[in-house]
Amino acid sequence: MSAGRYAWMADALCAQVGGDQWTEGLAGSGSQAAKRICSDCPVITECDQHRAALERHDGTQLRGVWGGRTQNQRRQQLGEAA
Ligand code: SF4
């Protein structure tokens, strides 16, 4: 991992807060708490771009909350854009 390429992660609120609310219960209270924190995160755009790059590279959708959206929300928005 290049420090410069991933420097934005130093400002990620999830890394500062900790916990597993970003990875469990995609429709549950954990994801709601995660999305609230994401909404104040200064690197929400970089986070979503990173997720999209990982998904393109791996050819699969990531689970959990990234950039303030659950996997289901991202799927729905992809469907609406298609
Ligand atoms: S927007 Fe991304 S980096 Fe920021 S708190 Fe949410 S999941 Fe973490």
Ligand 1 atom closest to the Cα of residue 44 is: 1
| Assigned domain for 34 exists | yes
- By residue range, what is the domain housing residue 48? 7-77
Q: Is residue 2 part of a domain?
A: no
pLDDT at 29: 63
Residue 1 lies inside a defined structural domain of this protein:
no
Q: Report if residue 65 sits inside a domain.
A: yes
pLDDT of residue 21: 85
Residue 26 pLDDT: 47
Binding site membership of 14 for ligand 1 (Cβ less than 6 Å) = yes
> Does ligand 1 come within 6 angstroms of the Cβ of 22?
yes
Total domains in the chain come to 1
Q: Is residue 21 part of a domain?
A: yes
The alpha-helical segments, DSSP class H, found in 3-59 are: 13-17, 29-39, 44-58
CA of 35 to the centre of ligand 1 (A): 8
For residue 23, is it within any domain?
Answer: yes
Q: Encode burial over 44-56: b for 16+ CB neighbours within 10 A, e otherwise.
A: bebbbebbeeeee
Give pLDDT tens digits for 16-70: 998 888 886 545 567 888 999 999 999 999 999 999 999 999 999 999 999 999 9
The ligand 1 atom at the shortest distance from the C-alpha of residue 12 is 3
pTM: 0.86
